[in-house]
A = this chain, B = another copy of it.
Amino acid sequence: MVLGGGKQFVQDEEKQQLLLEEHTEKHFTAGEVVRDVIIGVSDGLTVPFALAAGLSGANASSALVLTAGLAEVAAGAISMGLGGYLAAKSEADHYHRELQREQDEIDTVPDVEAAEIADILSQYGLAPQEYGPVVTSLRNNPKAWLEFMMKFELGLEKPEPRRALVSAATIALSYVAGGLVPLLPYVFVPEAGRAMAVSVAVTLAALLFFGFVKGRFTGDRPFLSAVQTTIVGALASAAAYAMARAVQSI
């Protein structure tokens, strides 16, 4: 039956290739850049917006709200951007450390690593005579063996080299772009109260739109995503407003 399975698949190989080619995978995964833009914009739209609303609630002038808001945008962009850079960097370092460790284990304790292949495959109900040939083949192909262990034992994907830098720049710029939306009204409207009203209207609209687009990209229901994103922004600014009021009244 084992060899039967093998033979059958040798014969079917061409058929398989045809099947694979005509079958386009419909599985969706948001690209990493899209994910970074989403991280940056959603925070950028939310926190400076909430801070500005909070300060307006504390009777600050538009000039001061703008000062605080832009200072926050600068700080947030650098914190998130460099944070994103270091996170991606440390992810890549982690991958290479694990790669080296796995390579060492394959060199020094090959029987253990071979037993780990067997252990992994047996979790899927495979019998020794079924996974045996796989283990034997991988042992004869150390490069493929290493890749197999990285993916199937550790679940680690090879990171792109320039990923960290791109991620940092994307998140930072997205944060600035998002953060300027709620702050612009304070540039043109000197009276903070009025500026806040405009800022709230503009930003809630932006949150709805952005949440919708986000939903489209991440595969969530766009309208649900739009509402959720807007509620987060509204709650955050309400909390900031209440907090500012409370501190003022002390």
A contact set with B: CB distance below 8 Å: 1-10, 13, 15-17, 19-20, 23, 26-27, 42-43, 46-47, 50-51, 54-55, 58, 60, 63-64, 66-68, 70-80, 82-83, 86, 90, 93-94, 97-98, 101-102, 109, 111-112, 114-116, 118-119, 121, 124-138, 141, 144-145, 147-148, 151-152, 154-155, 157, 218-220, 225, 228-229, 232-233, 235-237, 239-244, 247-248
- A216 → B minimal CB distance (Å): 12
Q: Tell me the number of copies of this protein.
A: 2
Residue contact B47 to A72, C-beta cutoff 8 Å? yes
Query: Please, which residues of chain B bring their CB within 8 A of the CB of A135?
Result: 5, 9
Residue contact B154 to A157, C-beta cutoff 8 Å? no
Contact of A134 among B16, B130, B220 (CB under 8 A): B130
A90 and B60 in contact (CB under 8 A), knowing A54-B74, A55-B68, A79-B46?
no
Residue contact B51 to A75, C-beta cutoff 8 Å? yes
A43 and B228 in contact (CB under 8 A), knowing A2-B2, A67-B247, A68-B55?
no
Query: Please, which residues of chain B bring their CB within 8 A of the CB of A20?
Result: 112, 115-116, 119
Query: Please, which residues of chain B bring their CB within 8 A of the CB of A101?
Result: 26-27
Top-9 shortest CB links A-B: A54-B71, A50-B75, A6-B129, A5-B136, A9-B132, A16-B115, A6-B132, A71-B240, A75-B240
Query: What residue of chain B has the Cβ atom nearest to residue A94's Cβ?
Result: B219
Residue contact B98 to A27, C-beta cutoff 8 Å? yes
How many angstroms between the C-alpha atoms of A225 and B89 in the bound complex? 11
Q: 15 A-B contacts, Cβ less than 8 Å apart?
A: A4-B136, A42-B79, A42-B83, A47-B72, A50-B79, A54-B67, A67-B247, A75-B236, A79-B232, A93-B219, A94-B219, A124-B138, A124-B144, A126-B134, A126-B137
How many angstroms between the C-alpha atoms of A68 and B64 in the bound complex? 10
Q: A2-B3, A47-B76, A94-B218 are in contact. List 13 more A-B contacts (CB 8 A).
A: A13-B118, A50-B74, A50-B78, A54-B68, A54-B75, A55-B71, A58-B71, A67-B248, A86-B229, A86-B232, A124-B145, A126-B134, A152-B152
- A3 → B minimal CB distance (Å): 6
Query: What residue of chain B has the Cβ atom nearest to residue A237's Cβ?
Result: B75
How many angstroms between the C-alpha atoms of A232 and B82 in the bound complex? 7
How many angstroms between the C-alpha atoms of A219 and B98 in the bound complex? 11
Query: What residue of chain B has the Cβ atom nearest to residue A116's Cβ?
Result: B20
Residue contact A228 to B86, C-beta cutoff 8 Å? yes
